[in-house]
Amino acid sequence: MQYSGSGLSRRRLLASAAALPILAATADGRSLSGAVPWSPFAGAPPRPVNPLGWYFFTPVEAATVEAIVDRLIPTDSLSPGGKDCGCAIYIDRQLAGSFGQADRLYTKGPFRTGLATQGYQGDLTPAGRYRAGLQALNDHTNAVHKKDFRALTPEQQDEVLAGLDGGKITLKLKPGFSTKEFFEMVLQNTMEGFFADPLYGGNKNMAGWKLIGFPGARYDYRDHIDKHNVPYPKGPVSIYGMEG
């Protein structure tokens, strides 16, 4: 990440990525009724997303998100920027699917103020939070700079993002959904898009994996297990066997 004064850096980005939660199924897959849920092809691998077009974002929202991810992960000698790595495509596809609609979350009231570690406590879905946050962001930049966020200079964009992160800017959002929560959500999803398997739309050409030396979904590492502190010599491989 490029902007200064916010305590954020590419080093923090990489360190944070290692702490992304890993989703796991229950031990035996049984429901509360004791029955074993089953459906044909349930164990099939995920399908690669279509990288063309936008499924959720409007053109203005898409351009705004592309501008944001390009400042959170700017192009430099280490890797392409967030836009070229497909981070915005990844976020769009997630919001267009079950994540965006909070299909697996309870979103009914009553709502109470939770701890910072408990995340958002309200009835807005992730899709709803993105839509409201992006609109509020552009409303703010139009009020201050007379331009949408996407039309600002890189320096101005960095200043706005630092303000969102550091509390100097407060967007007009629905009570219970804070500016900080909006920024952290976009940052989290940008990191996911940079490091997820390319089949989900991000990590184009496995740029994120190459940056940190992650070998991806290779089947066998036994010939390298005992070679401590030695870089892995082979490039990354995606779930579908594509090599980077």
Asked whether the beta carbons of 232 and 192 are under 8 A apart, the reply is no
pLDDT of residue 42: 67
Read off the pTM. 0.80
Is the model's pLDDT at 17 over the cut of 60? Answer: no
pLDDT confidence bin for 122, thresholds 50/70/90: confident
Q: Identify the DSSP state of 216.
A: B
pLDDT confidence bin for 14, thresholds 50/70/90: low
Is the model's pLDDT at 165 over the cut of 60? Answer: yes
pLDDT (mean) for 204-225: 89
pLDDT of residue 53: 95
Contacts of 169 (CB under 8 A, 6+ apart): 140, 160, 163, 179
pLDDT of residue 116: 76
The three state secondary structure string of 78-146 is CCCCCCCCCHHHHHHHHHHCCCCCCCCCCCCCCCCCCCHHHCCCCCCCHHHHHHHHHHHHHHHHHHHHC
Asked whether the beta carbons of 102 and 120 are under 8 A apart, the reply is no
Q: How do residues 185-201 score in pLDDT, each as one tens digit?
A: 999 999 999 999 999 99
